[in-house]
Homo-oligomer: A and B are copies of this chain.
């Protein structure tokens, strides 16, 4: 008797099996099934095996809503991306990160709820709604800022979270996963200094972001150590337009730099295009370094020297930390593998004066 298998198949999709079905087939109570399937004590090995077999047979999968309602977990974590629509897109960082995150989550059968919003206020609203709706067990936070309202909000909501891209903030009950931008910036500057550059401009990203601030500070410090004075940072919104614009301004200045470091791949490529447009030779007259490697840096001519980091590994690390938090693990601050500089054709010794 399978009423839904044949005739009703057109309109009625197959009914999902429940633990009740398993219980009936295995001749035990629903509780026994629940215990067995969740690895809890209270069932003999024999019964346990039998229940597992029946569940397998029936193709049972836990109904996520029922689980979320009775247990604590929704089996979902959230990620909000707060970016104006027009800056969305070309950057490869994000999808790479997500693919790393997914790898870890999928293995644990945790789903990822994803949302794109316009700004950080909207992002906070999403967190509140998710919390109120009990939609997610925890969240991953990207693009940390220097004065960030999110950790406090999330802590007050009691929503476990992992901030991606910033070192630990004092006192907050929020894990962090980050890369050592300071050391990375030092390696970039060392590379350029070693080639003979004394005048470098850093085209940074959004001024509010924590890692932007870190990179700017670290550049200044490192320049001081090396005794360089003609070093400065300018901020942008990460877009190709502002990257190009900043490049033009910098090249038009009285003392143009011999090297430019860009905070993302898109701006670096845009900068290279500006140089090409003006007939400025790269790396002969201008060296270019991109922070974050991607296909982009390899499709330009010349190919761009880039700071490579394992972005999807970064995502994996973050996801693992979040799962650990959900399992009651302590708040931690994890450091990702140090990025390394991949020298390509866009950097070389500066032209002699």
Contacts and interface: CB of A to CB of B under 8 A. Distances in A.
A113 interface: yes
A329 to B, nearest CB: 8
Given A2-B330, A7-B331, A296 B296 contact: yes
A269 B266 CA distance: 12
Contact of A299 (B96, B114, B115, B244): B244
Given A90-B90, A95-B95, A244-B299, A63 B13 contact: no
B331 A4 contact: yes
Interface centre among A9, A60, A90 (most CB of B within 10 A): A90
A226 interface: no
A13 B132 CA distance: 11
Interface string A64-77: 11111100001110
Interface string A298-342: 111100000000001000000000000000111100000000000
Nearest to A13: B158
A14 B112 CA distance: 24
Interface string A141-164: 000000000000001111100000
Interface string A4-31: 1001010111101000000000000000
A239 interface: yes
Contact of A113 (B13, B114, B130, B132): B114
A244 B59 CA distance: 46
A250 interface: no
B64 A85 contact: no
Interface string A270-289: 10011011000000000000
Given A134-B65, A328-B4, A331-B4, A111 B113 contact: yes
Give me the 10 closest cross-chain CB pairs, A-B, nearest first.
A13-B158, A61-B132, A65-B68, A89-B92, A114-B114, A276-B301, A270-B299, A7-B173, A240-B295, A273-B301
Interface of A: 2-4, 7, 9, 11-14, 16, 59-69, 74-76, 85, 88-90, 92, 94-96, 98-99, 102, 106, 109, 111-117, 129-135, 155-159, 173, 239-241, 243-244, 266, 269-270, 273-274, 276-277, 294-296, 298-301, 312, 328-331
